[in-house]
Amino acid sequence: MSERRAKAKRIFTILEEQNPRPVTELNFETPWQLLVATVLSAQSTDKQVNKVTSLLFDKYPHPAQLAALMPEELAAEIKSIGLFRTKSKHLVASAKALLERHGGEVPADLPSLLALPGVGQKTANVILANAFGIPALAVDTHVFRVANRLGLVKAKTPTATEQQLTSLIARELWTDAHHWLILHGRYICHARNPHCTHCSLSEHCDYFHRQENRKGR
């Protein structure tokens, strides 16, 4: 673990030099808006979500407005987003749950967030970190892929990835580490055809060294 921790320190030092203050690319102003945007972002791009929410947030600035809708009504407004029917059901149900349980406010604790329809561990961690400044390390497909490729973790699930990363990284860096890994996955370490030759982390990357060794055979 000490060797992996030293490796993590080298990697995150490089990423911090490139992007000292990483932030989410989802547009939001309130915890409620971030909840909506994060639920919508599953299997969609932040760019597309921002297009949809730029109109959605004006019409439904508070859970009360969204709770008054039928899921079908919301679905018609977010149909450019993947899984829009399921997401519309979850968002309307979550809006109602916030009104009933939390006075219309998004809670700032993990168990309460996880009890909301459509809010899983990743979404809850994104809200805690970005809306409330509570250290959390959300694992999406990018974080999962990059962390495993680099060799920071050896995990088969997002849950195991989160557990290994949080044991490896100082708590105060959890949120930044999430952003650094997700942005690296989004722009450099693609699922297909990663830009290894343009990657500042190649020297420290298990995946890169495996690919190089195969070429040398």
Residue type, 49: V
- CA–CA separation, 149 and 7 (whole Å): 13
Known catalytic residue at 140:
yes
What is the band of 213 on the pLDDT scale with cuts at 50, 70, 90? Answer: confident
E-assigned strands of 146-203?
none
Per-residue pLDDT, 216: 63
The SS3 assignment for 149 reads: helix
Per-residue pLDDT, 214: 78
To the nearest 5 percent, what fractions of the chain are helix, strand and coil?
65, 0, 35
pLDDT tens digit string along 186-208? 999 999 999 998 999 999 999 99
Residue type, 138: A
C-alpha neighbours within 13 Å on the C-beta side of residue 213:
6
Catalytic residue (one of 46, 87, 140, 176): 140
Per-residue pLDDT, 217: 57
Return the closest-CA partner of residue 115 out of 137, 134, 93, 136.
Answer: 93
Known catalytic residue at 215:
no
Catalytic residue (one of 46, 87, 122, 176): 122
- Residue 122, both tokens: 């990743």
pLDDT tens digit string along 86-138? 999 999 999 999 999 999 999 999 999 999 999 999 999 999 999 999 999 99
- CA–CA separation, 139 and 106 (whole Å): 21
Return the closest-CA partner of residue 105 out of 45, 34, 3.
Answer: 34
CA distances from 160 to 53, 87, 141, 147, 169 (A): 32, 26, 13, 11, 14
pLDDT tens digit string along 174-189? 999 999 999 999 999 9
- Residue 90, both tokens: 């979850």
Alpha carbon dihedral 123, 124, 130, 133, in 10-degree steps, equals -170
For the segment 47-59, the average pLDDT, to the nearest whole number, is: 95
Mean pLDDT rounded to a whole number for the chain: 95
